[in-house]
Structure 1
């Protein structure tokens, strides 16, 4: 095991006030900070910690080689991302091999649909890795709607918009409450599945949950201008209550 520690630090849904006490302590004392971003962008995770990490911290931006440019079914997609994660993991390990700690910024919770998991699986056998859990993006989204997500015995299902339409429709029809993530270019497919499952009129879309530019809209109403890529769809349960 390396001498230093890699910290996968969850930052929550976007509001710096929702960062945990432990995460805040690690951030304010960090010497090395790594984070994911698209080329040419500052990165959502990095934006959340503006003014929190030390000015002299060494930053390591990990720039995705591909996001939506090619379909995820294309063999090149996994090849490019696999090489990218291998390279990032090797760099983080080199930092801890010197005895230094490194904080990896994670939007939401590190173990919930996050890129950090791909580093964790590559590093856990060779480096000390600690996870700092956080409020998930979906929790921030359903809170933004102003209504509870589940009641009584409601079953909550979390789906990703990248699933085939028939799978989305089947799983939606079987649940009481619903969260749909990774919408992006799949928005039309997701809408069709919601309509087929009879949930469309109950669905909300939340963009930039718990951030200054947050927008909340009933999906069946005029949601013009909302960017599906940064959004989560919510369908509230209607279950047992006293």
Structure 2
């Protein structure tokens, strides 16, 4: 019997090749099969990060989301379409593994932190061997870009997504010492209101494209009305220090 190939979920870090781990770099450069997520009609951020690193005979498999923001996440059609999409991707990767082929699945940031690879990982369990290579998270790249530590002493750090209801955002923003908010995009106006209602607008920063060529760090009050996809909000902790 053919030995099954390994499916590697490889964390690429926040967006720069030189912030990838040595293991991630090696796997990407040696891979014959490369898979990555992207929005239809776009090259894909993960694919952009590793541009110029692939071997000449690498076979690429672009996994294009059938829906992103066109349908609300509360609409049953959203889950139905994504479930079918992940099932198709899983079948393709499992077939390659069954044929003895190793595959590298590119993951922005860390594969186990708000990443699409998690949905493949849960479906591939028991079907194919899977290994995960951790990566520097986007939020780590963001607070590094801000030039200020995110936590001190016993500060409590809370990580939220801006997709949450506004009242829940307000409550959690007010309850924590340090804050990271991800998945902002079209939710920026709601997030602004929640930050203001929690009384934290003077200490909120927006980091766009952390560790990428277009990196930009601004106070939330001075940010544009629409945040790009790769945006993270920060509120730095002010805890105990010597």
- Bucket of the pairwise TM-score, normalised by the shorter protein: over 0.9
Q: Secondary structure at the match of 1:229?
A: coil
Residue matched to 1:233: 233
Residue matched to 1:129: 130
TM-score, structure 2 length as denominator?
A: 0.97
Conservation of the 8 A alpha-carbon contact between 1:187 and 1:228:
no
Query: Where does structure 1 lack aligned partners over 5 or more consecutive residues?
Result: none
1:82-121 equivalences under 5 Å are 82-121=83-122
Conservation of the 8 A alpha-carbon contact between 2:188 and 2:227:
no
Give the Cα separation in 1 of the matches to 2:88 and 2:113.
22
Give the Cα separation in 2 of the matches to 1:33 and 1:89.
14
Give the Cα separation in 2 of the matches to 1:91 and 1:2.
17
Conservation of the 8 A alpha-carbon contact between 1:7 and 1:103:
yes
Residue 227 of structure 1 deviates from its aligned partner by: 2.9
Conservation of the 8 A alpha-carbon contact between 1:2 and 1:127:
no
Residue 91 of structure 1 deviates from its aligned partner by: 0.2
Give the Cα separation in 2 of the matches to 1:135 and 1:9.
11
Residue matched to 1:78: 79
Specify whether residues 228 and 197 from structure 1 end up closer, same or farther in structure 2 by C-alpha distance, changes over 3 A only. farther
Give the Cα separation in 2 of the matches to 1:96 and 1:227.
39
Residue matched to 1:35: 36
Residue 224 of structure 1 deviates from its aligned partner by: 3.0
Residue matched to 1:164: 165
Residue matched to 1:19: 20
1:140 paired with 2:180, answer no
Q: Secondary structure at the match of 2:135?
A: coil
Residue matched to 1:49: 50
Give the Cα separation in 2 of the matches to 1:47 and 1:135.
17
Residue matched to 1:192: 193
Of stretches 224-233 and 48-57 in structure 1, the one that deviates more from structure 2 is: 224-233
Aligned residues: 241
Conservation of the 8 A alpha-carbon contact between 2:139 and 2:232:
yes
Q: Secondary structure at the match of 1:117?
A: helix
Conservation of the 8 A alpha-carbon contact between 1:6 and 1:101:
yes
Specify whether residues 124 and 42 from structure 1 end up closer, same or farther in structure 2 by C-alpha distance, changes over 3 A only. same
Q: What is the root-mean-square deviation in Å for CA atoms of aligned residues?
A: 1.2
Write the deviation string for residues 182-238 of structure 1: whole angstroms up to 9, x where unpaired.
0111111111110111111101101111001111111122x2376342200000000
Residue 118 of structure 1 deviates from its aligned partner by: 0.3
Q: Secondary structure at the match of 1:86?
A: helix
